[in-house]
Amino acid sequence: MATFKIRRGMPAGLVGLLAIAMIGLPVSGAGAAQGGSTGKSSGKLSALQSRMWRPDGTVNVVATHGKSFYIGGDFKNVWNSSLTKSQRRVRIAALSSKTGAPIKAFHPHANGEVDAIAVFHRALYIGGDFTKVNGKSRHHLAVLRLSTGKLLPVKGLRLDGPVYSLLHLRNRLYVGGDFRYVGKVHQARLFSVNPSGHLAEGWPASPRGANGPVFSLAAAPGHKAVLVGGHFHQLLNKPKVNLGAVSLRGRLMKWTPPAVCLRDCPVRDLVASRKLVYAGIDGPGGRIRAYRWSTGRTAWADKTDGDVDAVALVGDTVLIGGHFTEVSDLAHKMFAIVDSATGAVSDRVETSSGTTFPGILDIRVSHGVALLGGAFDDVAGQGRLAAVAP
């Protein structure tokens, strides 16, 4: 069972409640995120760690689907140190969730960084800062066959700037980034795609979208709205500082969490539970912050000494990644686990060495394994792509 260190300045009453709550922490299933793995899952994790093929450059995004997971970023090859072998995979690759080996039939390539990946209506959508995929013109958004990576039609989805986030929610694909036009349609930094693969009308309600880049999209509690995080001061022509929510009908919601700061505190990643919204926030320093969905008020906040670029929710815990070395004055290099209800920081520390910048850029959890992508030398003995217990 994991233990949680009491944060400096925590009220005495909350300390008592936390101690009582910890007595009943689950140690298997979803709650296993708080304290290691079962024997079966531990063996699976060890095998994946030792056999996984890893890229020779930065991993910006990790996405899971079925028995595979996809990585995108800025790399040219994937390699296996124990086999002393490499395979050409340019900025996107598909790997087996069981063995970590590259899927042989899947080998598309892009001429610029891949920053976002999502599966939508039996196709793989990729977004980023590229203009060609498989040698064909694809401006910042492309659609691929899941099995082979061969190009599919994009149906007018030509963008004039990079895509940073893709979200499949219900029957739409939501797209965020730093663009102003989709084809000839003015659609600043936000739009959605319908099931037929075309630009959907009416989302968001205002074509002005956001007045700064959108870095993260996530499903709000109840899956009736889209959370929008980034570096902006207006959302759909209304004041919102780096974080807001847009209903599935395209209307701006009244939910207004307090701004962390008025400048240079962009929201980099988002995830939500039934009642709380968790935001990974950049400097000065960095933060992981929980907001109440009912009121927008801050439930808790942990300060870090570097950016928090990745967040993931597992049972009763939140995994965070970035290029920090401390979380609430406790030593945690690039990776930490916090209690989702209180923000109390777990005492579990993953071994790490080498550079911390830019550190961990994305976290995805699947089949009892947390996959960490980024530009790091060593987390749990693994570089750029790591598998750890959630």
Asked if residue 28 has pLDDT above 60, the reply is no
- Look at residue 283 in the predicted model and tell me its pLDDT: 82
Mean pLDDT for the stretch of residues 370-381: 96
- Look at residue 44 in the predicted model and tell me its pLDDT: 80
* pTM greater than 0.85: yes
- Look at residue 199 in the predicted model and tell me its pLDDT: 96
Could you read off the pLDDT of 215-231 as tens digits, one per residue? 999 999 999 999 999 99
Asked if residue 26 has pLDDT above 50, the reply is no
- Look at residue 41 in the predicted model and tell me its pLDDT: 63
Choose between 45 and 112: higher pLDDT: 112
Asked if residue 27 has pLDDT above 50, the reply is no
Q: Give 39's pLDDT tier (boundaries 50, 70, 90).
A: low
User: pLDDT over 70 for what percent of the chain?
Assistant: 89
Mean pLDDT for the stretch of residues 93-104: 96
Q: Give 40's pLDDT tier (boundaries 50, 70, 90).
A: low
What's the domain count of the chain?
1
Could you tell me how many residues make up the chain?
390
Choose between 2 and 72: higher pLDDT: 72
Domain residue limits at 324: 4-388
Choose between 199 and 2: higher pLDDT: 199
- Look at residue 134 in the predicted model and tell me its pLDDT: 98
Asked if residue 80 has pLDDT above 90, the reply is yes
Asked if residue 10 has pLDDT above 90, the reply is no
Distance, CA of 314 to CA of 332 (rounded, Å): 19
Average pLDDT for the chain: 90
- Look at residue 14 in the predicted model and tell me its pLDDT: 38
- Look at residue 295 in the predicted model and tell me its pLDDT: 97
Could you read off the pLDDT of 133-161 as tens digits, one per residue? 999 999 999 999 999 999 999 888 999 99
CATH code of the domain in which 79 resides: 2.130.10.10
Could you read off the pLDDT of 259-294 as tens digits, one per residue? 888 778 999 999 999 999 999 999 888 999 999 999
